């Protein structure tokens, strides 16, 4: 049985097999058939409408059914049940579990006892591999290559799980990475290590192929304002793209949404396609 | 693309086309088909089991799937995301969005950015057009006409969104409207204006075709008791009907439920039929 | 119309008809068909992920759709609506209602006004008949008989609804029942009465066919620790089985899970099969 726990499971070859499958929309609708229809559970210990909705719709579009468990905190789970027992229980009902949990390593623990495939939909400050796969797919889909590109990461580079995973997956490619962040939210040293990626801090002249913007959470406290203006955005190179994992909180003005370089809503659509492919691969 | 935002979209002709379609149950079950099954989202910023359940069941009975998002308050939406961004995101997953929101005008704002049809399932103290359409349909279905009828509206006429919309839609007809309410909860002046409807206050002798009762919410404070007794109800004309948008809180005694003039549970059933027709019209 | 409100509806003959139907998996997937697909509602006034998920999956595996209403507390129901009105409303949308409620007798009240079948999924300190049916089915499935067995019930025998119902259903058989519990949580006298079952308290030498363990809720206050050790469990007779309604809170160590005598996860699977059979019987 296969699980999707970490982007470390994806090397260059695995990534490009996925890209091809997604772009061909290889996996279509499965007619429901006797004796039962495949079901997935979205087991969310932390709320995430966006991610659970994406998996829900992906499953439906493939012809699967969904058991949504989005209120775990209020449920029997709080009667003292361990994650492991819940996984074994829900795994008796469905064919695959999409798990969002507040603790790092939760998805791995779940996979160790599960009788059905587990997809990690975010484990605390651990990983959120399907977000990373949709990000890298969006880059590949746009440029039809990844080697040779310049990727600028901007925002909260200290706490941003999304950014950290993207940096890790980019190690499979020869890319240039620029970083832009407030002093208090700089990228942790560990992400500079073990990599042949070149970093350059605070480029004055933003020559980049990708500008990947993330939200600065107020509670993580930077007094600096990392909101981009419309003027700054339209002055980007004509073939550059602007990405954001969403939700945004003013980092990118709505006025820019209709610019062809704005790719953040296409990321949403790509997320659906990527998740459809992943569900099918794990359920075949 | 069409949206259903306001009952102002319905004139006499549109209403009667809808009535005919609903009564013929013109729209039946759609077999799911490749490459994907149509999905609707019920995106509820305010709780409303009744309305979301009605749309959910209507969709299922048509062969669609449902993405239920009923806990918006607890979700990623509260990470500072605007309604517009949420609509664009959810609209990437599904083919139609049923929206309940606490702010007047929310449905209109949603429609302005949405890539899929929006149905307004209540926008604060704005409108709840599908409730109004099921009310007027119930009247038409019962009497096979609307012109010439006497409609008595009773309860909280000041705050009752349901009553206000019903008065507006009745302007397409020649009807007599009686009002009964506590002094503190009288109909706002704006609903008397611009209308050829005749009003009469507190009729002693309740000669009416329709008695439409609404709930007086305690927090809106009337000391007067607007509960009807069984004796008052059975003394209504034999061909009159009693309507209520439900939930009720004692305005109508349970004892009256089996009287053939009690139409409030039939309103529920008609709501399902009307919503099925509306979903199909917007998804064709 | 049939309802499932109490295990008192099941005599010896009805139980064994159910056992045979479940074990043959008599009821398979129903193809959805025009004019509409059957729907069930899971109407849960109290949270119970485990039970609602089991019914949800059972319905999907039968080809039905599910209207999940799991947040009743936050919904329009709290606008003062009675259980009876909610049942009549939801019954207008779906073909069967699975009801969990905090008040004893709620399922019976619901059945009295419902236009569709009601399944009692737990009514306060009343009954939870589908749990009892899956328990007794698990015993029958394992031993292919029930008469002549020794059943040891352990834990909170005072408040345990599960245990009380199991004792009642065992009255249809000639079995020996042992009880093990803290002094403060002993079985109420009423369960000793009107029965030809023999009881023996605190057996030193645990010669039993079934060890049925339940959780001791901290808030019900026993200072005694009723957790079983791995050593105690492996010293059970080789053909004995260990059952638990789950969730557990340390009563049975995880180490024992892979012992063939551990049947608590098989109970979960049997619950799905039993509920599928019950849904089909009530919906035919």
C218-270 pLDDT per residue, tens: 666 666 767 899 999 999 999 999 999 999 988 999 999 999 999 999 999 99
Q: Is A29 in Cβ contact with B80 (below 8 Å)?
A: no
Give the up-direction half-sphere exposure of residue B7: CA atoms within 13 A in the CB hemisphere.
28
Say whether pLDDT at B210 is over 80. Answer: yes
**What distance in Å separates residue A92's CA from the closest CA in chain C?**
6
Q: Is B108 a catalytic residue?
A: no
Q: Is A61 in Cβ contact with B85 (below 8 Å)?
A: no
Predicted confidence at residue B204, as pLDDT, reads 63
Predicted confidence at residue C31, as pLDDT, reads 57
In terms of residue numbers, what domain contains C111?
31-127
Say whether pLDDT at C126 is over 70. Answer: yes
Mean pLDDT of chain B: 89
The three-class DSSP label of residue B135 is: helix
What subunits touch chain A, counting only 3 or more CB pairs under 8 A? B, C
Say whether pLDDT at C15 is over 60. Answer: yes
Sheet strands (E) in B137-240: 150-154, 176-180, 198-201, 210-213
Do C158 and C246 belong together in one domain?
yes
Domain-embedded: residue B24: no
Please state, in angstroms and rounded to a whole number, the distance separating the CA atoms of residues B112 and B5. 11
**What distance in Å separates residue B61's CA from the closest CA in chain C?**
5
Q: Which residues of chain A have pLDDT under 50?
A: 33-35, 74, 76
Do C109 and C164 belong together in one domain?
no
For C218-232, give the DSSP string.
GGG---S--PPPHHH
Element (H, E) at B40: strand B39-44
Q: Is B36 in Cβ contact with A53 (below 8 Å)?
A: no
Output B229 or C80, whichever has higher pLDDT: B229
Do A137 and A254 belong together in one domain?
yes
Do C38 and C113 belong together in one domain?
yes
**What distance in Å separates residue A62's CA from the closest CA in chain B?**
7
**What distance in Å separates residue B87's CA from the closest CA in chain C?**
23
Q: What is the CATH number of the domain that holds A144?
A: 3.40.50.1370
For B221: left if phi > 0, alpha if psi spans -120 to 50, otherwise beta; the answer is: left
Q: Is A75 in Cβ contact with C249 (below 8 Å)?
A: no
Predicted confidence at residue A34, as pLDDT, reads 43
Q: Is B54 in Cβ contact with C67 (below 8 Å)?
A: no
Output B182 or C35, whichever has higher pLDDT: B182
Mean pLDDT of chain C: 89
Q: Minimum mean pLDDT among A36-50, B69-83, B268-282, C152-166: which range?
A: B69-83
Do A151 and A230 belong together in one domain?
yes
Partners of C199 in the beta sheet? C177
The answer, as to whether pTM is greater than 0.80, is: yes
Q: Is C37 in Cβ contact with B60 (below 8 Å)?
A: yes
Say whether pLDDT at B222 is over 70. Answer: no
List CB contacts (< 8 A) between B48 and chain C. Answer: 75-76
Domain-embedded: residue C139: yes
Give the up-direction half-sphere exposure of residue A116: CA atoms within 13 A in the CB hemisphere.
22
Select from B180, B125, B190 the least CA-distant residue to B157: B180
Token digits for C90? 């939801």
Long-range contacts, A192-197 (Cβ 8 Å, 24+):
A195/A167, A195/A171, A196/A171, A197/A167, A197/A170, A197/A171
Q: Give the burial class of C136: count Cβ atoms within 10 A of its Cβ; 0-12 exposed, 13-18 middle, 19 or more buried.
A: buried
How does residue C272 score in pLDDT terms, banded at 50, 70 and 90? very high
How does residue B191 score in pLDDT terms, banded at 50, 70 and 90? confident
- One of B24, B36, B79, B189 is an active-site residue; which one? B79
Mean pLDDT of chain A: 89
3-state secondary structure C1-39: CCCECCHHHCCHHHHHHHHHHHHCCCCCCCCCCCCCCCE
Predicted confidence at residue A165, as pLDDT, reads 94
Do A123 and A155 belong together in one domain?
no
Predicted confidence at residue C35, as pLDDT, reads 45
Residue C61 in contact with partner chain A when CB distance is under 8 A: yes
Q: Minimum mean pLDDT among A197-211, B4-18, C105-119: which range?
A: A197-211
Output B195 or B21, whichever has higher pLDDT: B21
Token digits for B120? 């307004």
The three-class DSSP label of residue B21 is: helix
Do C139 and C120 belong together in one domain?
no
Domain-embedded: residue B201: yes
Question: Following CA atoms C194, C197, C200, C204 in sequence, which dihedral angle do they give, to the nearest 10 degrees?
Answer: -150
Do B121 and B179 belong together in one domain?
no
Q: Minimum mean pLDDT among A120-134, B75-89, B149-163, B240-254: which range?
A: B75-89
Q: Is B80 in Cβ contact with A49 (below 8 Å)?
A: no
The fraction of chain C above a pLDDT of 70, given in percent, is 86
Q: Which among B65, B71, B88 has the least Cβ separation from residue A60?
A: B65
Say whether pLDDT at C41 is over 60. Answer: yes
Residue C20 in contact with partner chain B when CB distance is under 8 A: no
Q: Minimum mean pLDDT among A41-55, C29-43, C56-70: which range?
A: C29-43
For B177-188, give the DSSP string.
EEEE--GGGPPP
Say whether pLDDT at B87 is over 60. Answer: yes
Q: Catalogue the active-site residues of C.
A: 50-51, 79, 100, 128
Residue C30 in contact with partner chain B when CB distance is under 8 A: no
Last residue of a domain, one of B127, B147, B171: B127
Residue B250 in contact with partner chain C when CB distance is under 8 A: yes
Domain-embedded: residue B212: yes
The fraction of chain B above a pLDDT of 70, given in percent, is 86
Say whether pLDDT at B77 is over 60. Answer: no
Predicted confidence at residue C195, as pLDDT, reads 57
C68-105 residue pLDDT tens: 998 665 455 556 789 999 999 999 999 999 999 999 99
Last residue of a domain, one of C109, C127, C145: C127
List CB contacts (< 8 A) between A89 and chain C. Answer: 50, 53, 246, 265, 268
Counted domains in chain A = 2
Domain-embedded: residue C171: yes
How many residues can be counted in chain C?
Answer: 284
Please state, in angstroms and rounded to a whole number, the distance separating the CA atoms of residues B179 and B71. 37
A96-151 residue pLDDT tens: 999 999 999 999 999 999 999 999 999 998 999 999 999 999 999 999 999 999 99
Do C214 and C253 belong together in one domain?
yes
The fraction of chain C above a pLDDT of 90, given in percent, is 68
Domain-embedded: residue A42: yes
Partners of B98 in the beta sheet? B42, B119
Minimum Cα–Cα distance from C85: chain B residue: B247
Planar angle of CA B53, C282, C74, nearest 5 degrees:
25
Q: Is B247 in Cβ contact with C80 (below 8 Å)?
A: yes
Element (H, E) at A36: none
Predicted confidence at residue B35, as pLDDT, reads 44
Do A134 and A95 belong together in one domain?
no
Do A91 and A45 belong together in one domain?
yes
Last residue of a domain, one of C96, C127, C158: C127
How does residue C284 score in pLDDT terms, banded at 50, 70 and 90? confident
Q: Give chain C's radius of gyration (CA, Å).
A: 19
Q: Is B29 in Cβ contact with C84 (below 8 Å)?
A: no
Please state, in angstroms and rounded to a whole number, the distance separating the CA atoms of residues B168 and B7. 8
Predicted confidence at residue B206, as pLDDT, reads 85
Q: Give chain B's radius of gyration (CA, Å).
A: 19
Say whether pLDDT at C176 is over 50. Answer: yes
Do A136 and A249 belong together in one domain?
yes
Q: Which among C71, C82, C93 has the least Cβ separation from residue B272?
A: C93
Residue A68 in contact with partner chain C when CB distance is under 8 A: yes
Token digits for A187? 């990228």
Around Cβ C259, how many Cβ atoms within 10 Å? 15
Residues 69-98 of C with CB under 8 A from B: 69, 71-72, 74-77, 79-82, 84-86, 88-90, 92-94
How does residue B8 score in pLDDT terms, banded at 50, 70 and 90? very high
Please state, in angstroms and rounded to a whole number, the distance separating the CA atoms of residues A124 and C241. 38
Predicted confidence at residue A48, as pLDDT, reads 86
Select from B280, B275, B283, B282 the least CA-distant residue to B134: B275
Give the up-direction half-sphere exposure of residue A211: CA atoms within 13 A in the CB hemisphere.
26
Predicted confidence at residue A2, as pLDDT, reads 93
Predicted confidence at residue C25, as pLDDT, reads 74
Domain-embedded: residue C255: yes
Planar angle of CA C93, C94, C96, nearest 5 degrees:
145
- One of A3, A101, A128, A244 is an active-site residue; which one? A128
Domain-embedded: residue B190: yes
Interface test with A, best of C57, C62, C272 (most A CBs within 10 A): C57
Q: Is B128 a catalytic residue?
A: yes
Q: Is A54 in Cβ contact with B39 (below 8 Å)?
A: no
Q: Are C210 and A42 in contact (CB under 8 A)?
A: no
């Amino acid at each position: 049985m296969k699980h999707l726990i970490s982007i470390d499971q994806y090397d260059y070859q695995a990534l490009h097999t996925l890209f091809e499958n997604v772009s061909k929309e290889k996996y279509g609708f499965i007619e429901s058939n006797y004796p039962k229809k495949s079901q997935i559970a979205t087991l969310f210990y932390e709320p995430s409408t966006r991610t659970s909705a994406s998996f829900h719709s992906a499953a439906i579009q493939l012809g699967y059914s969904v058991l949504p468990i989005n209120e775990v905190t209020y449920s029997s789970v709080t009667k003292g049940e361990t994650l492991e027992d819940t996984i074994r229980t829900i795994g008796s009902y469905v064919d695959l579990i999409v798990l969002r949990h507040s603790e790092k390593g939760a998805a791995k623990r779940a996979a160790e006892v599960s009788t059905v495939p587990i997809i990690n939909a975010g484990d605390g400050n651990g990983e959120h591999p399907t977000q990373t796969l949709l990000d890298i797919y969006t880059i590949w889909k746009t440029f039809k290559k990844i080697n040779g590109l310049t990727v600028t990461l901007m925002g909260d580079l200290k706490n941003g799980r999304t950014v950290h995973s993207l940096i890790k997956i980019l190690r499979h490619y020869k890319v240039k990475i620029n970083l832009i962040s407030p002093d208090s939210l700089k990228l942790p040293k560990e992400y500079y290590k073990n990599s042949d990626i070149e970093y350059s801090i605070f480029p004055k002249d933003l020559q980049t192929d990708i500008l990947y913007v993330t939200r600065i959470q107020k509670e993580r406290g930077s007094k600096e304002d990392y909101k981009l203006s419309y003027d700054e955005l339209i002055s980007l190179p004509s073939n550059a793209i602007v990405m954001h994992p969403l939700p945004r909180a003013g980092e990118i003005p709505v006025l820019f949404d209709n610019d062809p370089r704005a790719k953040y809503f296409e990321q949403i659509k790509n997320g659906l396609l990527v998740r459809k492919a992943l569900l099918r691969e794990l359920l075949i």
